[in-house]
Amino acid sequence: MTLTWILLLLPGVICTETKIVQVDTALSGCTDSDGEVMLGLDGEEVAHADFTKGKLVMTLPEFADPYKYDQVIYEYIVAVKQNCKRDLQNAKTSYKSQVEAEAPPMSCIYPRDEVKVGTENTLICLITGFYPPRLTVKWTKNNKNVTQGVSSSQLRINVNDFSFNQFFTLKFTPQEGDIYTCTVEHQALEGPITREFDVEVSEPSVGPSVFCGVGLTLGLLGVATGTFFLFKGIQCN
């Protein structure tokens, strides 16, 4: 049995008279071998701990407040991670007979930009609503495994039910007829789920141009015929 320990803190500042509502979020989670700490503001991630690089990574957009957390905060987060693992071991001892809750993921695949043959693009495989936060994602192109140009986002937690979301991306240059797939494996699934993306570029229709050309030609012929009979009538008079 594998357990995941999650701690969610929601300190907040609320001022109803001036219509100002601010809610800060500190989310800490861990497993036997890994951990994650995320700091957020009003439902948006501000920073997360990167335990591989040994620092806190800011994820605010460029136009946001440039404030950054210092190294002291990261050292505190490391201590939080260790406490989380200790609490996890205590929980595993106390709940030996408990079965871990599971939620199967849902997935979809779509391109980041409009598909144009020969123009580099990015395929996005969005995976949502899964628990526990461990899964495997594989990409293929025309039934062949692809590992180049592949990346993934940080895990994102749904605070309403503590399930997780994650983006997986693949850089690709579409060619007509190519078929790409994103396959997800998770312990809550009876079998892998695969989403397929076919490169189909619709050619512009010639119908409207033909009709427009025929209509213009008939119109010009009508004008010419009318002008001819007009002059004939003038000569007769």
- Spans of all domains in the chain: 5-94, 106-198
The CATH class of the 106-198 domain is: mainly beta
Question: Which is higher by pLDDT, 84 or 214?
Answer: 84
Burial class (CB in 10 A: 0-12, 13-18, 19+), 129: middle
Instruction: Give percent above pLDDT 90 in the chain.
Output: 34
CB 169 within 8 A of CB 123: yes
Residues 6+ apart with CB under 8 A from 179: 141, 142, 143, 196, 197, 198, 199
Question: Which is higher by pLDDT, 45 or 86?
Answer: 86
Question: Which is higher by pLDDT, 18 or 173?
Answer: 173
- Kindly report, residue by residue over 139-192, the tens digit of the pLDDT: 999 999 999 999 998 888 887 788 899 999 999 999 999 999 999 999 999 999
pTM of this prediction? 0.57
Per residue in 70-80, is it b (16+ CB within 10 Å) or e — as a string? eeeebeebeeb
Whether 224 shows a pLDDT value over 80: the answer reads: no
**Residue 47: CB atoms within 10 Å:** 21
Whether 34 shows a pLDDT value over 90: the answer reads: no
- What pLDDT does residue 25 have? 66
Q: What is the mean pLDDT of residues 51-61?
A: 76
Partners of 103 in beta bridges = 131
CA 5-133-47 angle, 5° bins: 80
Residues 6+ apart with CB under 8 A from 85: 5, 30, 32, 35
CB 11 within 8 A of CB 24: yes
Ramachandran region, residue 76 (left: φ > 0; alpha: ψ -120 to 50; beta: rest): alpha
Q: What tokens appear for 170 in the block?
A: 């693949």
**Same fold across 5-94 and 106-198:** no
- What pLDDT does residue 215 have? 58
- What pLDDT does residue 226 have? 55
CB 73 within 8 A of CB 56: yes
14-23, 91-100, 161-170, 183-192, range with the lowest pLDDT? 14-23
**CA separation for the pair 166, 156 (Å, rounded):** 6
Residue type, 117: V
In this structure, which topology does domain 5-94 adopt according to CATH? Answer: 3.10.320
Whether 33 shows a pLDDT value over 60: the answer reads: yes
